[in-house]
Amino acid sequence: MEDFYYMRRGTKQFIWGVSLFAIFTLFELALPIHVHAQLGQVLIAPRDAMAARLLTTPVPQRDMCDYISCGPTYTVYKTSQLLVTAYSSTPDQTSGNPFITASGAHVHEGTFAVNGIPFGTKIRIPDYFGDRIFTVEDRMNARYSSYHGDIWMETRAEAKQWGARHIQIEFVTES
């Protein structure tokens, strides 16, 4: 019976402690805090003066690329409609070594062939490849104009599946 008395007494002390904590917390929340902020600053309801000072101190805007290597960014300077087909490294689709482009580079994902556009020109095909960058490194047969381009693909099956598509390409420059 004596143990029960002490247990009840401990429970009462616990309840008093929680009640006092709740009262002080509510009192603190009711106190007004004056914060001076400039237009455009975001504040997250500070509860004490230190938090108010920290929240109103301007912090320079940072981009995720300040912390990790995001690679180059590109700016579109021209768009054009082209008939784009695909080719692979098979002797019947190329002249000379099927793995070497007209610019002397090895074929790779992102190789683009077109006549009349300088080697090294960067293009993007956003409707089909999003932000992937292609580089003009190869030429087509002389019978094709500069309005017909070719994307290098790893297999003949992929190239056939691509077929021929009238698409818009973007000429981009590194910014």
Do 111 and 154 form a contact (C-beta atoms < 8 A)? no
Question: Which segments of the chain does DSSP mark as H helices, in order?
Answer: 2-30, 49-56, 126-129, 156-162
Please, is 49 exposed, middle or buried when counting C-beta atoms within 10 Å of its C-beta (0-12, 13-18, 19+)? exposed
In the numeric block, the tokens 């320079």 are attached to 60
- Report the residue count for the chain: 175
Inform me whether the pLDDT recorded for 170 exceeds 50: yes
Confidence at 46, pLDDT banded by 50, 70, 90: very low
Inform me whether the pLDDT recorded for 12 exceeds 90: no
Domains in the chain (CATH in brackets) are 2-59 (no CATH), 74-174 (2.40.40.10)
pLDDT of residue 122: 96
Arithmetic mean of pLDDT over the chain: 77
**Rounded mean pLDDT of 86-110?**
84
| CA–CA distance, 82 with 98 (Å, rounded to integer) | 24
| CA–CA distance, 128 with 161 (Å, rounded to integer) | 13
Which tokens sit at 146?
């500069």
Of 16-25, 135-144, 159-168, which range is least confident?
Answer: 16-25
**Rounded mean pLDDT of 152-165?**
93
